[in-house]
Structure 1
Amino acid sequence: MKVAIVTGASSGIGQSAAIEIAKRGAGVILTYGNNPGGGLETVAAIEKEGGRAVALPLDVGETGAFAAFRDTVADVLRDTWQRDTFDYLVNNAGASEASLIEDTTEETFDRLMRVLLKGPYFLTQTLLPLMADGGAIVNTSSNSTTAGLEPGYSVYASMKGGLNVLTRYMAKEFSTRGIRVNAVSPGPTRTRLGDDAFTRFPEVVPALAARTALGRVGEPGDVGAVIATLVSDESRWVTAQNVEVSGGFNL
């Protein structure tokens, strides 16, 4: 059985990706940040469909905890799947905070940098010794780097832009082990990002839908299905790509 690690899987895109990957027959180690209940909900959803999943706490903004996390993953792999390695890594955990460049503090910049760019960089580095050859990595980026730039997201989008470059470098360097690396770039998607912005500001939804060719905002399942496809063998000849999953936002 293949095994995937999905970060930030207590809600939204990560939760959907974990469930979709499990539906395709893989075991899942999923992480949660400040929402342990959501992590357990994801596990329950996977187990209800006959899959196997384990939820672990992880703050992707704290690189000092990564070595201990790797050791815990190794224990879980042995205890749950009788394996020493895993196959798929989905670097999905994120954070969002909006501020105009003139108002942005170094603290905000550094916090988003730690979660969105430094975290995936060093978490991947830390977990790489446990990853099986021929595996796959998907990094969750954002179409805020290219389409419909909105004032206030300069830091967020800059870090996602860095992640896009990192995706290509990972694909190049890890190709010697047959590991494929791709990114997905969602458009506006109904998640808890930005302190549950879609729930707090429902009035923005019609305007975003109007700017989307397919006429609605994205749902987590729209993106999760693409992530599951990218890690699967169906995408065995796809690497170093950034797939926009936006329904044609700003087309």
Structure 2
Amino acid sequence: MSIKKYLKRAFVFLLHGIPERHVIANITKLAPNEMLKGRTALITGATSGIGFEIAKSYLEAGAKVIITGRDKDRIQHACSLLKSIHQNYIVHGIQMNNCDVPIFKEKLEEMLRWKDINQIDILVNNAGVLGGDIRDTTETEYDNIVNTNLKGVFFLSQMIGHYYKEQHIEGNILNIASSSSLRPAASAYTITKWGIRGLTLGLAKILTPYGIIVNGIAPGPTATRMIFKESNTDITFKNPIGRCAMPEEIANMAVFLVSNMGRSIVGDIIYMTGGSGLITLDDVNYEF
């Protein structure tokens, strides 16, 4: 250990009485399985980060996968990466902006015309953007965040809910919330995640009688490009576990919740926050 790191750990211990830990993420990833065999998942915002990892885990669990994104090149690149893992994986990408609600019906009809897609029975509402701090956000920024993170989720869930009901599909809707859904709402992003938490409960209440299971996952700060630069490999974070969540951890839970193993979990949010938002708010600065 270098002198600098030793002194830093000694200072933290003297100041707080807690030794600084050397943080390593020992993640157990689900092995390839058939938990989602015969099913098809639509995952929004899945060209990278948590959405991409969920897509990968769903393929490894036997599902067909459709990913959405705003950029055609990024969609094609993500699909190529996923297909390169195994030659038998069925992966499609479709350009779809969560803010563009009027195109949702047209896009669903396009997906269902693909010869290897019989139906969609899993929706993962993952697409989202950060920002909108109340200190300095503009109305344009606010509208983009709310439309992407909440309005789009509301109307996509509405459409898929009707589709499930009309086709008698006992499917799943999985919403990606956030530790922000537990925090004081001082940004547009945080407001949208409070909305996702409430929407998850509401969707579960009205759709469960039709055999449609709705739940959510709330990650804390996660080691993705959304909050970290690509070159940054340091996952240390000021929360109780001392590190960021890993996308693979979120993906493991995403498989379980939409599988037959998770059908008695209804209207719940699984908080994978490392304690952020649940037992501490000290990992975020609140300034105006």
Correspondence for 1:175: 208
Number of the residue aligned with 1:198: 228
Residue 87 of structure 1 is matched in structure 2 by 121
Mapping of 1:44-193 within 5 angstroms? 44-46=81-83, 48-49=85-86, 50-76=88-114, 79-81=115-117, 83=118, 85-99=119-133, 101-131=134-164, 133-147=169-183, 154-193=187-226
Q: Is 1:233 the counterpart of 2:260 in the alignment?
A: yes
Q: Note closer, same or farther for the CA distance 1:244–1:198 as it changes in structure 2 (3 Å cut).
A: same
Task: Let me know the Cα RMSD of the aligned residues.
Answer: 2.3
Counterpart Cα distance in 1 of 2:217 and 2:122: 15
Select the residue among 217, 235, 242 that pairs with 2:244.
Answer: 217
Q: Take 2:42 and 2:229, find their aligned partners in 1: how far apart are those partners?
A: 28
Tell me the distance in 1 between the aligned counterparts of 2:260 and 2:80.
24
Richer in helix (by share): 1
Structure 1 residue runs of 4+, over 4 Å off? 200-205
Q: Structure 1 160/182 Cα, relative in aligned 2: closer, same or farther at 3 Å? A: same
Aligned-pair CA distance for 1:54: 0.7
Matched-pair contact (CA < 8 Å) for 1:17–1:224: yes
Q: Which of 233, 253, 271 is residue 244 of structure 1 equivalent to?
A: 271
Shift in Å, 1:140: 0.6
> 1:29 corresponds to which residue?
66
Higher RCO (C-alpha under 8 Å, 6+ residues apart): 1
Matched residues in 1 for 2:132 and 2:47: separation?
22
The Cα shift of 1:34 comes to 2.4
The structure whose residues are more often strand, as a share, is: 1
Q: Is the 8 A contact 2:200 2:214 kept in 1?
A: yes
Deviation at 1:8, TM superposition (A): 0.7
C-alpha distance in 2, partners of 1:203/1:86?
36
SS of residue paired to 1:4: strand
Cα gap change, 1:87 to 1:200, in 2 (>3 Å): closer
CA drift at 1:46: 4.5
Query: % of aligned pairs identical?
Result: 28
Q: Secondary structure at the residue paired with 2:228?
A: helix
Q: Secondary structure at the match of 1:71?
A: helix
| SS, match of residue 264 in structure 2 | coil
The answer for the alignment partner of 1:8 in structure 2 is 45
* Unmatched tracts of structure 1, length 5 or more: none
Q: Structure 1 CA distance, aligned partners of 2:131 and 2:212?
A: 32
Q: How far apart are the structure 2 equivalents of 1:39 and 1:229?
A: 27
| SS in structure 1 of the partner of residue 192 of structure 2 | helix
Q: What is the aligned residue count?
A: 237
Identify unmatched segments of 5+ residues in structure 2: 1-37, 280-288
Q: How far, CA to CA, are the matches of 2:233 and 2:57 in structure 1?
A: 30
**2:200 & 2:234 partners in 1: Cα distance?**
31
Render the CA deviation track for 1:62-115: whole Å, top value 9, x for unaligned.
112212111112212xx113x2x211100001111242x242222122111100
**Partner secondary structure for residue 198 of structure 1:** coil
**Matches of 2:60 and 2:82 in 1, distance apart?**
10
> Is the 8 Å Cα contact of residues 239 and 274 (structure 2) preserved in structure 1?
no
